[in-house]
Amino acid sequence: MKNINIIILSLFLWVGAALANVPSIVPLDWLKSHLGDKNLVIVDVRDRDIYLKGHIKGAVNIPANAQLFRGKKLMMPKLSHLQKIFSDAGIDQNSEVVSYDGGLFYFSARLHWLLEVLGHKNVGILAVSYGNWKKGEIAVDLTEPKVKKANFIPQVDSAKIATKLDVLVSLGKVTLIDGRRASDYEGKTSSVHRFGHIPTAINFPSTLTYTKSVLGSKMKDWSKLKDVFKNIKKNKKVILYCDDSAEAAMDGLILDKLGYHTVVYEGSWLEWGDDDALPIVNPAKKKK
How many CA atoms lie less than 13 Å away from 3 in the CB half-sphere? 0
The answer on 181 and 125 residing in a single domain is no
Of the three residues 141, 170, 195, the one that is the final residue of a domain is: 141
Whether residue 249 contacts residue 112, with contact meaning beta carbons closer than 8 Å, is answered with yes
Whether residue 272 contacts residue 243, with contact meaning beta carbons closer than 8 Å, is answered with no
The answer on 114 and 180 residing in a single domain is no
pLDDT at position 6: 45
pLDDT at position 261: 95
Is 151 within a domain?
A: no
> CA quadruple 82, 31, 260, 241: dihedral positive or negative?
negative
The answer on 133 and 13 residing in a single domain is yes
Whether residue 159 contacts residue 262, with contact meaning beta carbons closer than 8 Å, is answered with no
Is 3 within a domain?
A: no
Which amino acid type is present at position 261?
A: H
Q: Other CB atoms closer than 10 Å to residue 22's CB: what's the count? A: 21
For residue 35, give its domain range. 9-141
The answer on 132 and 13 residing in a single domain is yes
The answer on 169 and 117 residing in a single domain is no
pLDDT at position 288: 54
The answer on 200 and 99 residing in a single domain is no
Q: Other CB atoms closer than 10 Å to residue 284's CB: what's the count? A: 15
Q: Please state the domain count of the chain.
A: 2
How many CA atoms lie less than 13 Å away from 127 in the CB half-sphere? 18
pLDDT at position 285: 83
pLDDT at position 10: 44
Whether residue 176 contacts residue 239, with contact meaning beta carbons closer than 8 Å, is answered with yes
- Give the separation between CA 123 and CA 62, rounded to whole angstroms: 15
Q: Is residue 203 classed as helix, strand or coil in its secondary structure?
A: strand
Cα dihedral 29→35→38→41 (10° resolution): 90
The answer on 167 and 214 residing in a single domain is yes
pLDDT at position 20: 78
Is 1 within a domain?
A: no
How far from 18 is each of 13, 24, 121, CA to CA, in Å?
A: 9, 18, 15
- Where the chain has pLDDT below 70, the residues are 1-19, 286-288
The answer on 176 and 136 residing in a single domain is no
CATH code of 280's domain = 3.40.250.10
Whether residue 209 contacts residue 254, with contact meaning beta carbons closer than 8 Å, is answered with yes
pLDDT at position 210: 97
Q: Which residues pair with 86 in a beta bridge?
A: none
pLDDT at position 201: 98
Is 166 within a domain?
A: yes
Whether residue 255 contacts residue 262, with contact meaning beta carbons closer than 8 Å, is answered with yes
The answer on 137 and 163 residing in a single domain is no
C-alpha closest to that of 103 among 204, 15, 12, 218? 218
Chain segment 196-217, per-residue pLDDT in tens? 999 999 999 999 999 999 889 9
Q: Which residues contact 185 (CB under 8 A, 6 or more apart)?
A: 178, 196, 197, 201, 203, 205, 283
pLDDT at position 7: 43
The answer on 120 and 175 residing in a single domain is no
The answer on 188 and 104 residing in a single domain is no
The answer on 111 and 45 residing in a single domain is yes
